[in-house]
Structure 1
């Protein structure tokens, strides 16, 4: 069978979209919508016809159904990824078929739509897809914000370049201070949403009773204290990226609502009966092991699979010691401008031997303190104020403890001291420690403190 060309295809140099669906009504609906957007459409009803169309000409976007007479949409996704890497492809799935959507995103799909196809969502997807920068463009603008040439950092930068072209939800793992938010900002800056807002949210810092309102917004009078209409994080991030930091701290009730918002791409404000569509790319991060949280029942498995479509791991600083001199130079330039102090070889050696439990963030703090305390123009070992038992070799303070065990012991000690100072008042202890009550409650459970 030959590929059916749109009879309404406009003349001129227009963006071309390949529509692959075996249902004539769906093809007609999408074709008409694209035509009204000033786009040229070509329609195919099978995997074979789609391949033929791709062989005949160049397309700027492909929309494919998952269920086709001679195969499935994943075949089209993989074929385009292999032979037409600069063409973004989105899949159309049956309502509720999230497994298919996740499989397509992992195979390289840019985004997905659920049937019945909503025209507003279709138009938003098409606009986003046609803004996606191509591979050649990306290659001309190497990422410079992630300092270091270690193998771990080169791999992270390469992954960020690939992830920027996708709409797939991304889970960034890594220890505190390893640069998870920076990675999220770089993905956003290289993505089709770059012109939209980047909205970072610390999920552990929001009171549980205000979470739904903060995420989805509320209408005036929806509850006591709601004196005016309020836009939530999803509305604020419209057309851009919503970065959910410390997502493991979300309570289970909020996890259910977040899952629905991601699946349906719609949110409902508190006090409003109807839902509104949202065009938001989700990136999440946590320093905790999210898989362990699922196994312990603290995090929903279905939400885990929706968020962890693609994982980006940010390496700890101790895993890329060779990057420390370059990081030191970059941080000192940021701190001191043109009058950058020298760093002695002994000081650099001491930094290389230090385990950095706080990663790059801790290195910044150490250097900021050192620039303030050094008496001359050169930072020496003593100016760093590193703990002697942390500078290489067997650690008499930790013995054979792993770093996690060591940090857990310090955390337990700090919490017990705070509880003692507040006579066991957890709310006051949380305030003293500078964490939320819910965060303290979780830490008490994790550390087994009664």
Structure 2
């Protein structure tokens, strides 16, 4: 291994020796200190790539050292060794800026895992553009966005659980993904799960897996989300939607760093970083008894607030340009540009659905605008879309609409897609599959035709 170095700070000679031997076998050169003052001197002299410190030291505590390193050598990851079961101390150290913690008695496999992760942070970055360098929809030059990107970069260096708060559509999953991609777990899986989308009776099996035959329908072994994310990051979106019974099991899995698949007798260790998010007010749910306080403290070690789009209106033109370029790429068309009137209209709109709503508005406008220019009227913001023209669409030969809608329950999306598909097929057949002529016949632009063909899988 290369000349990697670590500083071990502990006033117990036995523990210092154990850590020295373990790190020595990993090819790491170690320096040792028995107190804070000598630790500071060694840190300034040798600039090690990692620091491991005990919590209780003769002249202070580990958190003081974490804070000192944050000020004087912020690029040095520091892990804290805590007494068994003292979770509050571990959380306090993470909030102070510790990379991670390990409990006494120190489990050597867990220590090696931690050391390897920490050293990845010290590796010189290869100069190439990676997914982590692409801000995606975290684009913008507003102070709010710059602050968010800086916080994301800083949190990526830690292993602390992060709770991401923000309105629906503001980009919470994107923030979680950026934390993962910029950290030492970037090469491992990023598994995102919407907690509100899993039926409660399947939740335990989805999270922790199951053994074949453990219940009706369990025809084979299932790994589960926790083990799928092993070595990487598990992102729990809409975590407020978890039922109380599942909250207890989730807390245990996070605390023990292990899961027990349904129908199994033994626990399987997992190494994951947990990030979570919801648009709901979690502190309120804790007060009302709908969310467990102990789980809230565990997942909310550090809170990161994602600003709403209306709080950073100056970022809208840049975001819109990026979204329109992406849409043009997807539909293999030339990008459309926004007129200054359209930009002003967007900047004056409140975006209750945030960035996700901006994407939907622009995608719709892109397919309906003329000649690659989107004007304010193409955005259809506020006020109903002219319904008369829509109702008198081509092919609706004055028949009563109620005659066309089947009786009983229908899946509206599927039903409308079927009608759209039939109308397009009819127009294409009538024009011998000339897409330009078919678009004209349907009263839509060629681009709108391309968009619909792609959306319906009819290309």
TM surpasses 0.5? yes
**What do residues 29-65 of structure 1 show as CA deviations (whole Å, max 9, x unaligned)?**
2222212212122222222232232133121111111
Shift of 1:88: 0.2
Unaligned segments of structure 1, at least 5 residues:
1-11, 391-421, 423-427, 434-450
Equivalent residue for 2:27, pick from 25, 38, 59 = 38
CA RMSD, Structure 1 to Structure 2 (Å): 2.6
Equivalent in the alignment of 1:328: 320
Equivalent in the alignment of 2:53: 64
Larger radius of gyration: 2
SS in 1 for 2:235: strand
Equivalent residue for 2:92, pick from 103, 125, 129 = 103
Range with greater deviation from structure 2 (32-41 or 277-286): 32-41
SS in 1 for 2:236: strand
**What do residues 234-269 of structure 1 show as CA deviations (whole Å, max 9, x unaligned)?**
111111111110011111121122222222222222
Distance in 1 between residues matched to 2:244 and 2:310, nearest whole Å? 34
Is the 8 Å Cα contact of residues 152 and 320 (structure 1) preserved in structure 2? yes
Distance in 2 between residues matched to 1:33 and 1:432, nearest whole Å? 63
Distance in 2 between residues matched to 1:133 and 1:15, nearest whole Å? 9
Is the 8 Å Cα contact of residues 23 and 29 (structure 2) preserved in structure 1? yes
Q: 1:137 to 1:291 in 2, by over 3 A?
A: farther
Shift of 1:128: 0.6
SS in 2 for 1:258: helix
Distance in 2 between residues matched to 1:134 and 1:81, nearest whole Å? 18
SS in 2 for 1:320: helix
Residues 81-160 of structure 1 mapped to structure 2, 5 A cutoff: 81-133=70-122, 144-145=135-136, 146-160=138-152
SS in 1 for 2:327: helix
Shift of 1:389: 9.1
Distance in 1 between residues matched to 2:107 and 2:284, nearest whole Å? 37
Equivalent in the alignment of 2:230: 238
Distance in 2 between residues matched to 1:151 and 1:432, nearest whole Å? 43
Is the counterpart of residue 356 in structure 1 residue 351 in structure 2? yes
Is the counterpart of residue 384 in structure 1 residue 379 in structure 2? yes
Is the 8 Å Cα contact of residues 49 and 122 (structure 2) preserved in structure 1? no
Is the 8 Å Cα contact of residues 95 and 302 (structure 2) preserved in structure 1? yes
The alignment of Structure 1 onto Structure 2 pairs a total of residues equal to 385
Is the counterpart of residue 272 in structure 1 residue 264 in structure 2? yes
Is the 8 Å Cα contact of residues 161 and 274 (structure 2) preserved in structure 1? yes
Distance in 1 between residues matched to 2:285 and 2:124, nearest whole Å? 36
Distance in 2 between residues matched to 1:359 and 1:385, nearest whole Å? 16
- Relative to the length of structure 2, the TM-score reads 0.79
Shift of 1:340: 1.4
SS in 1 for 2:27: coil
Residues 44-443 of structure 1 mapped to structure 2, 5 A cutoff: 44-133=33-122, 144-145=135-136, 146-337=138-329, 339-388=334-383
- Relative to the length of structure 1, the TM-score reads 0.80
Distance in 2 between residues matched to 1:32 and 1:381, nearest whole Å? 69
Unaligned segments of structure 2, at least 5 residues:
386-407, 414-459
Distance in 1 between residues matched to 2:126 and 2:165, nearest whole Å? 27
**What do residues 59-105 of structure 1 show as CA deviations (whole Å, max 9, x unaligned)?**
11111111222221101111111112111001111122111011100
Moved over 4 A (4+): 133-138, 140-143
Shift of 1:307: 1.1
Is the 8 Å Cα contact of residues 237 and 278 (structure 2) preserved in structure 1? yes
SS in 1 for 2:121: coil
